[in-house]
Structure 1
Amino acid sequence: MYTLLSGLYQHITRKEEYYVLIIGLDNAGKTTLLERIKSIFLGVTGLAPEKIAPTVGLNIGRVDIKSSRINFWDLGGQRDLQSIWERYYTECHAIVFVVDSTDSKRLEECKNTFEKMITNEEVEGVPILMLANKQDIDGALRVEEIKEVFNKIAVKLGARDSRVLPVSALKGEGVRDAVDWLILRLQRNKNNRPPIYR
């Protein structure tokens, strides 16, 4: 009887666990985004912006939302670190690609990096969320302007779920909407990338 009740309890309380990559060029605001997600969904104060250093390797953030646990993997965006991204593609359930909306000089480099990522076979069928970050700064490119640059390669996304949203990771504007979109896509993509149950 105890075994039956224990098994039933474990089944009811188990969580679906997902892994989400946060990638993009260096200085796009990936770690600031992760800190903001943690502060919004965990109710804790994240690192102060002036204390956030460039990521060398990996930062991890875990957030429980409803019956799901989302593990965010924030990977360094320096050119020599981008080669490690591929090691995480097979395990991820979604990808958040962060674009620095204030850095028009590197937009072409950003587009090429994005194209290399979406054409990797390991990310086929994985939802892709592009965040146009730093929208709070005067002179930032609008989402429409960023889409115009990336539209040339959008056909390579195929039929997978994808979206471009404006955010300010620093101020938190648009971050909750972005995560809400992500959660819905993770749930819809269970057949393609099943969650891990814990």
Structure 2
Amino acid sequence: MYTLLHGLYKHVTQKDEFFVLILGLDNAGKTTFLESAKTRFVKNYKGVNLSKITTTVGLNIGKIDTNGVRLNFWDLGGQEELQALWDKYYQECHAVIYVVDTGDRERIGESKESFIKMIKNENTRGVPLLVAANKQDLEECMGVREVKPLFESNVDHVGTREVMVLATSGLTGEGVVEGIDWVAQCVVRNMHARPPHDKEKS
């Protein structure tokens, strides 16, 4: 009887696990976005001073439980030499959050190029995609209407996957909760194509 109850308890308390990549150029605000999300979703998470986060060299990780699933985040460095490592993670991921620095018009073309390389990769086919038009707290930033055409122009490679372009600010938290909730719903809807990893106890 104990074994049966224990098994039932484990089944109820375990969540489907999904892996989400956070990509974008260096200084786009990827880590700030992730830290902002953790402060809003993870109970008693102290976090770091968002205004003092420096450029990621390598990998930051995070874990958030929402909508009955567990999202594991891989925040990868965006420097040109580190982008070569992105494709090592594509096969295992269930969604991509691509962060765009809307305050840096000079590098928007470079950001688009990195984005196109990512969606052209066979291992990202069909994976839900959130384009975070980040740093909306800056006065001279580009709005969603300006960013959206740039990152939705490759229709052939975007395919039938779910895509959303969302105004965000890692510093103020604008759009962060909405974006994470959207990703959580998408990975569940896409389970037939990319099943979750083995359940982990909550």
Q: Which moves more between the two structures, 154-163 or 115-124?
A: 154-163
Output the CA distance in 2 between the equivalents of 1:122 and 1:148: 24
Matched with 2:75 is 74
Change (3 A) 1:42 1:144: same
Q: TM-score, normalised by structure 2?
A: 0.94
Matched with 1:85 is 86
Alignment of 1:9-24 (within 5 A): 9-24=9-24
- Any idea what the Cα deviations from partners look like across 1:58-102, whole Å, max 9, x if unmatched? 000111114211111100000000011101101111000000001
Matched with 2:112 is 111
Alignment of 1:89-168 (within 5 A): 89-168=90-169
Alignment of 1:163-182 (within 5 A): 163-182=164-183
| TM-superposed deviation, 1:149 | 2.2
Alignment check: 8 A CA contact 2:98 2:131 kept? yes
Alignment check: 8 A CA contact 2:67 2:185 kept? no
Number of residue-to-residue matches in the alignment: 198
Q: TM-score, normalised by structure 1?
A: 0.96
Change (3 A) 1:66 1:138: same
| TM-superposed deviation, 1:8 | 1.6
SS in 2 for 1:26: coil
Alignment of 1:20-59 (within 5 A): 20-43=20-43, 44-59=45-60
| TM-superposed deviation, 1:29 | 0.1
Which residue identity does 1:77 align to in structure 2? G
Task: Indicate the RMSD between aligned Cα atoms, in angstroms.
Answer: 1.2
Matched with 2:196 is 195
Which residue identity does 2:57 align to in structure 1? V
Output the CA distance in 1 between the equivalents of 2:141 and 2:170: 14
Q: Which moves more between the two structures, 45-54 or 21-30?
A: 45-54
- Percentage identity across paired residues of the two chains: 51
Alignment check: 8 A CA contact 2:22 2:30 kept? yes
Q: Which runs of 5+ in 1 are unaligned?
A: none
- Any idea what the Cα deviations from partners look like across 1:160-198, whole Å, max 9, x if unmatched? 001100001111011111111111101100111111222
